[in-house]
Chains A and B, each alone.
Chain A
């Protein structure tokens, strides 16, 4: 799997838009980019996945530039309940086996 680099932590006030960027310089042609969210004392849960350009769902948006060497998870108008750790993973959606997580980005939303 391609190695990823994310900020260790971020703070944001409630109601603001939060952008978390992940670097993955060695991304391969077949690799997809997937983001997970983990609340304390819970297992991670899938947020969004993309291959190129922009993907949007009811929770977040994912922006991927043309060179795909980075990606940005965008959370609109965060609330206190968005306080969590966010993980960026890069891998071949066709069946990669050793799915490894980095340390993620700890987002703290401040009232």
Chain B
């Protein structure tokens, strides 16, 4: 079982460039989310989705766009990268509406913006 798969693992961008971080899960989870983690800090929620076609903002949404066209995929787009977006990005998924829910995380994408 693949679980939550994130690509790429590493990426270097120049200021102003755009890119998409990919996230896919094969567990048929309704809920998916994106976090960023800066050195020595906890995880901060960027955007989340409770199903295909439904997305909402988290704690730090500025500079990021998301869409959810399928249950499996939840890409995160940086339209114009800034050095402040240098961070490690984690995608997570879980079931929604049940009991004993737990988040499953991907292995992360380390992004550097120069």
Q: Using known A-B contacts A101-B42, A103-B41, A103-B42, determine if residue A44 contacts B105 with beta carbons closer than 8 Å.
A: yes
CA distance in complex: A34, B99 (Å):
12
Name 25 A/B residue pairs within 8 A (Cβ), A-sorted: A32-B100, A36-B103, A42-B107, A42-B108, A43-B90, A43-B92, A43-B106, A43-B107, A46-B102, A46-B103, A49-B102, A87-B42, A87-B43, A93-B101, A94-B99, A95-B97, A97-B50, A98-B45, A98-B48, A99-B33, A100-B45, A101-B35, A101-B42, A101-B44, A104-B42
Q: Are A43 and B33 neighbours in the complex by a CB distance under 8 Å?
A: no
Q: Which residues of A contact B92 (CB under 8 A)?
A: 43, 99
Q: Which residues of A contact B31 (CB under 8 A)?
A: 97
Inter-chain residue pair count (beta carbon < 8 A): 66
User: What 7 new A-B contacts, CB under 8 Å, besides A93-B99, A98-B45, A101-B44?
Assistant: A42-B108, A43-B4, A44-B103, A98-B58, A99-B45, A100-B59, A104-B42
Q: Which residues of B contact A100 (CB under 8 A)?
A: 43-45, 58-59
A41 within 8 A of B: yes
A81 to chain B: closest CB distance in Å? 18
A76 within 8 A of B: no
Please give the number of chain B residues whose Cβ is less than 8 angstroms from any Cβ of chain A in the complex. Answer: 30
* Residue on B nearest A94 in the bound complex, by CB: B97
Q: Which residues of B contact A104 (CB under 8 A)?
A: 42
CA distance in complex: A56, B16 (Å):
49
B26 within 8 A of A: no
Q: Measuring CB to CB, which residues of chain B are less than 8 angstroms from any residue of chain A?
A: 4, 31, 33, 35, 41-45, 48, 50, 56, 58-59, 88, 90, 92, 96-108
Q: Which residues of B contact A103 (CB under 8 A)?
A: 41-42
Q: Are A95 and B103 neighbours in the complex by a CB distance under 8 Å?
A: no
